[in-house]
Amino acid sequence: MRAEFAIIGGTGVYEPGWLEGAKRVDVETPYGTAHVVVGRYKDKRIAFLPRHGVGHQLPPHRVNYRANIAALQKLGVTQVLATGAVGTLTTRCRPGSLVMVDGFIDFTKARAGTFFDGEGEVVHVDMSDPYCGRLRKALAATAETLGIELYPTGTYVCTEGPRFETPAEIRFFQAIGGTVVGMTSVPEVVLAKEAQMCYATVCMVTNWAAGLTPRPLTHEEVVAEMRRNVDRLRQLFFATLEGLTPDRGCRCQHSVAGQVKLGPRQEGP
C-alpha cells in the first residue's frame, strides 16, 4: 500500500476523517512498528499517522519519532502536513489561533534525533528552511481562500516534557524570540528533513503558557481546545492537499545530497 502525502495528527487529532476506503497498516521499520491509516481523498492517496499512537498511548518524550517518519518513507510519502497543540508565548496569538511555524529552538534532551548514528556516518543536514517553504506557501494561500485566519510565521520552542514549563522558563523562551511552546516538533521535523521529505506544521494554540494566566494548566484543557477547533485544521489540510502535486521543486528532496561522509575505515583484528 502506497501514499505520497501524509498528515501527522497530534494531541486531539486522532482520526483521519474524510478519507475514503481507509485501512490501517502496521508498518515495520528498523526502529519499530508504526500504525498508519491509508485512504483516498479525491485523487490522492493519503496516509494518516497518529503521532502518539492509537488512542494517545505515548507522551511526547516516548514517541518513536524515527519509526513514524521511517514508516511514512517506506509507504512512499514525500510531503507531510503535521498538527501540534502548543501554548502561546505572546498575546498576539491567543488560544484558538492557528500558527504556521517557520523555525524552531530545540530544548529536548534525551530523544533519538537522527537516522544517521551508525558507524562511519557523518551527516550534517541543512536546517536553514526546516519547515518547507513551498508547503507553507500552499497552506497560507489555502487559508486565505477559505477565510481561515492563519499566522504565517512563528518560532516553535520544543521542550522535553512530559511536564509543562515553569514561568521562569517561559520568560526565557519569550526573551529568545519564541512564539509558541510545545513538545513534539523536534526531532520530527529534523527526521523528515533527513528523509528528504517536505514537512510543514500548523500549530493550534490551546492555552496560555505558564505564568501568563493565574490558572494551572491541565492536559484536559489542551485536548478540549483542540477538539473545538479540529474541523478548521482538517478543512485547511485537506484543501491544501487537494492542490498539491508530486512535483515538488524545492530543496527538501536534496536535503542530504552530498552530505554522507565515511569516517576512517576500521580494520578487523
> Domains of the chain (ranges plus CATH)?
5-254 (3.40.50.1580)
Tens-digit pLDDT profile for residues 143-166: 999 999 999 999 999 999 999 999
Contact 74/29 with Cβ under 8 angstroms?
Answer: yes
| pLDDT greater than 70 at residue 92 | yes
Binding site per annotation, positions for phosphate: 11, 51-52, 184
Q: Which residues are annotated as a binding site?
A: 11, 51-52, 183-184, 207-209
Binding residues for substrate: 183, 207-209
Q: Give me the amino acid identity at 151.
A: Y
Per-residue confidence band for 267, with pLDDT thresholds at 50, 70 and 90 = very low
pLDDT at residue 53, rounded to an integer: 83
Look at residue 268 in the predicted model and tell me its pLDDT: 39
* Pick from 109, 112, 124, 108: nearest CA to 31: 112
pLDDT in tens, 210-238: 999 877 777 787 777 777 888 899 999 99
pTM of the model: 0.92
Contact 82/187 with Cβ under 8 angstroms?
no
